[in-house]
Amino acid sequence: MEKINGYTAEEAESLVNYIAEGKKSGKTLSDLFETYGKAHGRAGGSVRNYYYQLLKSDDARAKALVRGRKLRAGKIREFTKEETDDMLEKIFTERGKGFSVRRSIANICGKDEKLMLRYQNKYRNMLKKQPDEIRAVAAKMGMEDFVSARRREADSFLQKRLEREINELYDRLALNLREENDRLKKTVQKLTEENELLRRMGGGKHGEADCG
């Protein structure tokens, strides 16, 4: 069966329809990725990646699917050369203390999970597409032998570990967003109920004044 970026045409259309209807209902993309994934036996992170790939695709069939749907991908803030080098230098500094890449990034970012996600995505992509740039920064820091001795970091095992960590971060951020939305809904409901109570109390007093 003919496929669009790895999905069958029917699957791609199903996802686009699901996202479009969900957005109209006010649901977040993170929630939609997760629920669609569960319903179709796919990881939420995989659905997310496919969705963004579909929106950016030059495939005429993909463009036809999303045309007129008002679907948008969030603007991605690209790394500058200075930011990239600074990130790698910090990672290698932590690596020199004996930490893994994942642990090094966690140490650098502290409790900022959004920054951690950004760093992990960048490092993962550089492992795949720009390994020479990683080695260049390592050489600049006098750690070229250190990197060469650990070339296994670029194998599929590390890629899978980073993928899992990235998906877990997305899930935690999505959960935090849903919890915040729930809190806001409860606050609005409480204020609405209090407003209705005050309106009724005000109406009762007005009625008693008229009777006098």
Output 65 or 205, whichever has higher pLDDT. 65
Is the pLDDT assigned to residue 139 strictly greater than 90?
no
pLDDT at 83: 92
CA dihedral (197, 202, 208, 209) in degrees, to 10, reads 180
Handedness of CA 60, 62, 63, 67 (dihedral sign): positive
CA–CA dist 176, 174 (Å, integer): 5
CA–CA dist 121, 115 (Å, integer): 10
Q: How many CB atoms lie within 10 A of CB 187?
A: 10
pLDDT at 196: 75
This prediction's pTM: 0.47
Handedness of CA 115, 116, 120, 123 (dihedral sign): positive
What is the average pLDDT score of the chain?
77
pLDDT digits (tens, 9 = 90+) for 6-17: 788 888 889 989
Query: Which secondary structure element, helix H or strand E, spans residue 99, and what is its range?
Result: none
